[in-house]
Amino acid sequence: MGELRFAAAVAVAALASVLPIPEAAADPAADRMQADVAALSGAAPREAGTAREAAAFDFISNRLAQLGVAVGGEDVPLPNGRTSRNRWTSFGTGPVEILLGGHVDTLAVSPGADDNGSGVAVLLELARRLDDGSVRVPPGTTVTLVWFGAEERLAGRVANDHHYGSRQLAAERLAAGQPP
């Protein structure tokens, strides 16, 4: 049985070496997301409450403004005396809400591509697709995209000193009678 599997693997490898492999189709969405991740990583690290984090939030707000979508937001005060931000935009007006989020800040040692530049880029692309109608909001639904600040541990603080942006938004929503 092992010889048969080996022969099959050799046959597949031989065919793969002579068959033409189609060139990957250009994917504008992937290119946009990759460019956004590169732009965000170039501004890293983006520690909470710093000018680099603020620049990343400006980048996000500018991308959303290019789409012409309304952007909401709030400041997030931090225990180290700095201020971070939360930003959001919503699509649809239904009573059922889907909330998707990513965080903008990074640890001091992180370029922030996978933490969480990629999440920020996916949310920006989803905003574009929701805005142009290529992704539709289900009837009776609101989709809210949130870019959180101050999710990573603050420099010089204890290990569990994090998630300020999401905790603030969740507390405000609970106080308003909305699900967090």
62 is in which domain, residue-wise? 25-175
pLDDT of residue 11: 47
pLDDT of residue 5: 58
Q: How far apart are CA 7 and CA 13, in angstroms?
A: 10
Q: Is 162 part of a structural domain of the chain?
A: yes
Alpha carbon dihedral 47, 49, 51, 53, in 10-degree steps, equals 50
73 burial type by CB count under 10 A (0-12 exposed, 13-18 middle, 19+ buried) = middle
User: What's the distance, CA 108 to chain centroid?
Assistant: 19
Q: How far apart are CA 40 and CA 38, in angstroms?
A: 5
Coil/strand/helix, residue 80: coil
Q: Is 106 part of a structural domain of the chain?
A: yes
Predicted confidence (pLDDT) per residue in 37-65, tens digit = 998 888 678 999 999 999 999 999 999 99
Q: Is 123 part of a structural domain of the chain?
A: yes
Predicted confidence (pLDDT) per residue in 8-18, tens digit = 554 455 445 55
Q: In the numeric block, which tokens belong to residue 171?
A: 């507390």
Q: Which carries the bigger pLDDT value, residue 155 or residue 70?
A: 70
Q: Is 3 part of a structural domain of the chain?
A: no
Residue 113: which pLDDT band, with cuts at 50, 70 and 90? confident
Q: How many domains does the chain have?
A: 1
Residue 28's identity, in one-letter code, is: P
CATH of the domain at 103: 3.40.630.10
Q: Is 17 part of a structural domain of the chain?
A: no
Q: Is 15 part of a structural domain of the chain?
A: no
pLDDT of residue 25: 61
Q: Over the chain, what is the mean pLDDT?
A: 86
